Amino acid sequence: MAKHSKKLLRTGVQTAFTALSNGYLVGFLQGKIYTGPTKALCLPGLNCYSCPGALGSCPIGSLQAVLGSRQFSVSFYVLGFLMAVGALWGRFVCGWLCPFGLAQDLIYKIPFPKKLKSIPADRYLKALKYVMLAVFVILLPLFAVDVTGMGDPWFCKYVCPSGTLMAGLPLLAANTALRSAVGWLFAWKSAILAVILFLSLLICRPFCRYLCPLGALYGLMNKASFYRLILNKDLCIHCGKCEEACDLGIPVLTNQNSMECIRCGDCKNACPTGALHSTLDQLWAQKNRTGISGRSASSK
Amino acid sequence: MSKAFRKFKAPILLGAGILFLVIGVFRGEVLVVLQKAVIICLECVGIG
């Protein structure tokens, strides 16, 4: 498959998954959200449960909801879900299934005079997402509680631009009652969204790199997951095309399974010798070989 | 890290994840998630 078609395939999968998981179209028209039983299930990406079309729940929102509740101080349900998805795919979810990742990717495709691989202090800014995870998603909802013992979803409330884009804007557009309640918080969250969307013009996936707590969690499992990248050193000619193709600036030759890698596959597609492949490609090739040898053995 | 652990870390992680998920379901966490998800989250929207 040509490089261009492989990129189109990823955009197609991202779009299809976003459309499927946000398929409650009536919600967009009437300014309300879906209330069916599938809302109890978490979606793998950062998909706000207050998006009018959302058929499932955001795992980061759900984690804060359980931690901030009176009954529980740990969420086995959401952590178990994230561990299972992370064990299977790692940050493949970020590259292929996250709706806010798709939004950033689409904006990054818009031509701009200068595209950057990273911004100053990139190395330190990358650590911010772990602060978001530890402080805004876990510690504050757990310990900063009101008189009734309930904690706020701090990340959703003060940071999450995905919620503003997927829930805030469509709901306010269709719901006059909500529109009349808008105040400084919405202005603050809209400003964050505007900065992220503008940065997405310049650099690839600024939110995923620096702020996303979900990406931080999945990234921790990138090296352990079933889906990993493998470099065949015998085939590698050290041309550097993989690192050139990586918009996230990952040193592919030395660290194919970096915590920052969103598994977009651009490095794999750029490799002229096929030295880079995934565990899934390996499995596929093995299956094909077994199939061919099985067929030839049975025809003898 | 032992060789055996390195080889089996993905299945171990997956198994632990599924076990946690089941424990969470039996503890009733699903209801908390559902209750939060079926009403408009004013914090997420940016109203507070």
pLDDT-based confidence at residue A287 (cuts at 50, 70, 90): confident
Of A200, A220, A240, which closes a domain? A220
Q: Does one domain contain both A211 and A235?
A: no
Quick one: pLDDT at residue B1?
Answer: 55
Indicate if the pLDDT at residue A294 is higher than 80. no
How many domains in chain A? 2
Strands A276-278 and A229-231, bridge-based pairing: antiparallel
Longest dimension (CA), chain A: 78
pLDDT-based confidence at residue A3 (cuts at 50, 70, 90): low
Indicate if the pLDDT at residue A217 is higher than 90. yes
* A5-14 per-position pLDDT tens digit: 878 999 999 9
pLDDT-based confidence at residue A286 (cuts at 50, 70, 90): confident
pLDDT-based confidence at residue A102 (cuts at 50, 70, 90): very high
Q: Does one domain contain both A78 and A182?
A: yes
Quick one: pLDDT at residue A71?
Answer: 92
Of A220, A239, A264, which closes a domain? A220
A294/A228: higher pLDDT: A228
Q: Does one domain contain both A36 and A134?
A: yes
| A21 part of contact set with chain B, CB < 8 Å | no
Candidates B5, B18, B26, B44, partner chain A, best to mutate (most A CBs within 10 A):
B44
Q: Does one domain contain both A259 and A216?
A: no
Q: Does one domain contain both A186 and A283?
A: no
| A104 part of contact set with chain B, CB < 8 Å | no
Query: ipTM of the predicted structure?
Result: 0.92
Q: To which residue do tokens 């009536």 refer?
A: A26
Q: Does one domain contain both A200 and A273?
A: no
Q: Does one domain contain both A105 and A208?
A: yes
Q: Does one domain contain both A96 and A188?
A: yes
Q: Does one domain contain both A136 and A258?
A: no
Q: What is the pTM of this model?
A: 0.92
> Chain A contacts of B47, Cβ < 8 Å?
178, 181-183, 185-186
Q: Does one domain contain both A190 and A255?
A: no
Q: Does one domain contain both A197 and A242?
A: no
Quick one: pLDDT at residue A2?
Answer: 65
| B32 part of contact set with chain A, CB < 8 Å | yes
For B17-46, letters b (16+ CB in 10 Å) and e give beebbeebeebebbebbbebbbebbbbbbb
Domain limits for position A148: 3-220
**Phi, psi (rounded to 5 degrees) for A51:** -65, 130
Q: Does one domain contain both A161 and A285?
A: no
CA distance A200 to chain B (A): 21
Of A175, A200, A220, which closes a domain? A220
* B1-17 per-position pLDDT tens digit: 566 666 789 999 999 99
